[in-house]
Chains A and B, each alone.
Chain A
Amino acid sequence: MSATAFHAESRSALRRLVIAARGRSRVPYLWVTIVAAFVSLVSLMPLGFIAWITIQTGWETASKLIFRGRVGELLVNTALLELCTIPLTIVLSVSLAWLTERTDLPGARLWAWLAVAPLAVPAFVHSYAWISLFPGLHGLTGGVLVSVLAYFPFLYLPVAAQLRRLDPAIEDAAASLGLNPWQVFFRAILPQLRLAICGGSLLVGLHLLAEYGLYVMIRFDTFSTAIVDQFQSAFNGPAANMLAGVLVSCCLLLLVIEAVLRGGERYARVGSGAARPADRRQLGRWVFPALALNVATVALAIGVPFVTLTRWLYIGGTEIWRIDLVGSAFAQTVVLAIAGGVLATIAAAPMAWLSVRAPGRLQRIFEACHYYVGSLPGVVVALALVTITVRMILPLYQTFATLFLAYVMLFLPRAMVGLRTSIAQAPVELERAAMALGRTPFQAVRQTTMRLAAPGVAASTALVALGITNELTATLMLSPTGVETLATKFWSLTSEIDYVAAAPYAVMMVLLSLPLTFLLYVQSRRATGQ
């Protein structure tokens, strides 16, 4: 190749690059924005539904159904549950995270993994395990106990990740100014965990509002259980819809509280170079209480489900493994979970891409819609979809389409999280270069960013699939006739107190969730480079 030819070619490549860069924002951004706007609009549907149904019910009836003693009881129950569970969960997970990340606790890596493992056991299987062992366990005490055990990993994960990221120089400075180790922890470490604690607590709080199966078994009434009671007594009557309205308000209130508590402080480290890894603190004779705490948590959160399931499986023998029933529920669950995971990831992709490539005020609003819908309990989304399809779009009623729509809405934030981070790590220059080399904008995104984002895509799909595997209320209310998942089958058997026959379904759910939980654990460590 002659010098001139090379020169000419590189000049024309440069020209194409300029043209592409100039025109890049037109076509794909517009279309992607339209798709993201559409997904946002769909995710606003449950909220619109509540408003619409309240207007339809009329204020007089609505206020009679909202301002009544029963709603007051449920509000008290909900408030007590949140106020007892969240602080306990924070104390437990911060202690465990500090012990496993920042001390010389023997077997710290193992304990770290075991602190995440309870996520593989669905919340309602936790309570099934507890009431099998202690049939009298019920009410607030029981509810708080099982909730803490089922949900503390949601707080442990972000807190542990944050602890690994902290710059020990700050602690050194605090110590050199004369603070003792306890003071260092409370005044230098804990404030830096604020974002992780707020985020994790929000997640736990929302789960407490949304969970149905756990509280039915433990006999503690919350809005979710009351809505299902009403649904079973009167289908989608006004009373159920009004309760759903109050429940949604509670969710929104939690979101606001979290936003306020999160504050606007700066946490990023300044200064040159990278932070050195923190030293692990010597536990000395404190090693025994530290080990005891870990052993006790694992015994309660993993040991109890393990012992109960083993016992029921032993009592049931081979008879309860009806391969035609268990196998078919297993297959249906896997298909629903994977298909739902893929669909949710596809639905979240435009917004995730936009929020990285073209952040702006409008995008911020769309993104908020994507996140808020995931904070809604399954029972509310299902109630909205049942009513809307049966009254207005009958062809979609009791179809897979509606069920998948519910899954996508419920798990949209999960899909967003993984996608966003990995798209952010793919340099935009590659897209531009690809366009400069003659790819259309869509080809460019597909061949560069999306390939680089593959691990995020896989993680998102897996996270959503995990959610669907353990989903109960929306599946119960929306699934097409004849569809039985592991969760719904488990639920109908435990309702007839056939705990023995229910055990195989619980075991299958745990086995399905284990690899996904492990993936979550690995991801969280990889995020901090370990």
Chain B
Amino acid sequence: MKFSFPGSAFTLATLAGASMLAMSATANADDIGIVVYNAQHESLGVAWAEAFTKETGIKVTLRKGSDMEFANQIVQEGAASPADVFLTENSPAMSLVDGAGLFEPVAADTLAQVPENFRPSNGHWIGVAARSTVFAYDKTKLTEDKLPKSLLDLADPSWKGRWAASPSGADFQAIVSALLALKGEEATTSWLTSMKENFTAYKGNSTAMKAVNAGEVEGAVIYNYYYYGDQAKTGENSKNVALHFFKNEDPGAFVSISGGGVLASSQHKENAQAFLKWLTGKGGQAILRDGTSFEYAVGNGEASNAALPALSDLQYPKVDPATLNSAKVTDLMTAAGLL
């Protein structure tokens, strides 16, 4: 080989160094914009960020992760957190960060944009979207009379090997936290133990729905929007699937609130508050209505996507989002061998 080592190594090292500098420069461009820890679906996060930047000129840098990962991460980062805004899919993660006293109170005019039942009473964070728990089932195998009446029925031995869920996901853990809030620790533990016996684990709700569609299991406990999202695309992964809403204020009818909050440690509070205000206002909610996320809009008088059944018809249980205890849920699920 002809090239000389010191020369080429030096060139390579310089090249590497220069590109690293260039890359860290891009990553540090948040001096003018905001860093969002986005646990929401990446596509929705990007749609929000792009529209906001277009309207206000404020740059948004997204970091992707999941609800509880970010919540625990923010708690450990404490005052040094690089994040300005935290967006989740479910509220337990918001409660965790709020419990550590790391949220800046949400501006009053932003709070006024969302009805009280979609935000905690202390006003430290705010609901930005919502989703409903459903039992997605294989309509070629199950008829309506054979569906479970309650989420609790799935613990029954007759359901052994017939249903699926994604226990490692924040979505399912939020459903368990609602169960815990509504039925208490003892009932939750026994339900989780039976679940371990009965269910099949999938990674991700969309994968679980795909399995129902493929006939691998008869049903899955997931959120509603996966179905509508797939129907809007090709329908390839949901053509045999129908949704069953538990209603009757059953734990299985739980409506989960996706939260947004500004971190107390943020160096860009003004821009961060502006982002939250935009999300819960006309601009952000319109993306929920017109986009392909199929999550419910929560802003005052804001309409959700027309394909969805009205949120007011779902007879969901009243759960104070501030009481959902994520750490307890993780412990119970770890103890039940689900994690």
Contacts and interface: CB of A to CB of B under 8 A. Distances in A.
Interface of A: 65, 68-70, 73, 135-136, 216, 219, 221, 225-226, 229-237, 239, 332, 335, 338-339, 342-343, 345-346, 390-391, 394, 397-400, 446-447, 450-451, 453-455, 457-458, 461, 480-483, 492, 495-497
Contact of A232 (B6, B26, B63, B69): B69
A216 B5 contact: no
Contact of A233 (B24, B206, B330): B330
Given A233-B69, A234-B72, A496-B42, 14 more contacts: A216-B203, A225-B203, A232-B66, A235-B71, A338-B15, A339-B16, A343-B16, A400-B23, A451-B6, A480-B23, A481-B30, A481-B61, A482-B63, A497-B207
B66 A400 contact: no
Contacts of A332: 23
Contacts of A239: 330, 334, 339
Contact of A497 (B5, B69, B210): B210
Contacts of B23: 332, 335, 400, 480, 483
A136 B9 contact: no
Interface in B34-80: 35, 41-43, 61-66, 68-73, 76-77, 80
A499 to B, nearest CB: 10
A496 B41 contact: yes
B15 A394 contact: no
A346 B5 CA distance: 12
Contacts of A450: 5-6
Nearest to B43: A496
B120 interface: no
B68 A461 contact: no
Contacts of A453: 5
Contacts of A481: 27, 30, 35, 61-63, 82
23 contacts: A70-B337, A135-B211, A219-B201, A219-B203, A225-B203, A229-B168, A231-B69, A234-B327, A235-B73, A237-B330, A335-B19, A346-B13, A390-B77, A397-B77, A397-B82, A399-B24, A400-B20, A457-B5, A482-B26, A482-B27, A483-B23, A496-B206, A497-B237
Contact of A398 (B4, B26, B62, B82): B82
Contacts of B43: 496
B339 A233 contact: yes
Contacts of B62: 481-482
Interface in B187-217: 201-204, 206-207, 210-211, 214, 216
A341 to B, nearest CB: 8
A73 to B, nearest CB: 7
A339 B20 contact: yes
Contacts of A457: 5, 9
Interface of B: 1, 3-6, 8-9, 12-13, 15-17, 19-20, 23-24, 26-27, 30, 35, 41-43, 61-66, 68-73, 76-77, 80, 82, 168-170, 173, 201-204, 206-207, 210-211, 214, 216, 237, 327, 330, 333-335, 337-339
A339 B14 CA distance: 9
Contacts of A216: 203
Contacts of A339: 15-17, 19-20
Given A346-B13, A394-B80, A492 B64 contact: yes
B58 to A, nearest CB: 15
Contacts of B61: 481-482
A390 B214 contact: no
A355 B12 CA distance: 25
Contacts of B207: 219, 497
Nearest to A325: B46
B199 to A, nearest CB: 13
Contact of A400 (B24, B64, B65, B206): B24
Contacts of B201: 219, 221
A457 B4 CA distance: 11
B27 A391 contact: no
B68 A233 contact: yes
B16 A136 contact: no
Central interface residue in A231, A232, A343, A455, by most chain B CB within 10 Å: A232
Contacts of A397: 77, 80, 82
Given A233-B68, A233-B173, A496-B41, A342 B13 contact: yes
A232 B168 contact: yes
A226 B65 CA distance: 16
Given A390-B76, A481-B63, A497-B206, A70 B334 contact: yes
A307 to B, nearest CB: 18
A522 to B, nearest CB: 12
A454 B4 contact: yes
B90 to A, nearest CB: 12
Contacts of B168: 229, 232-233
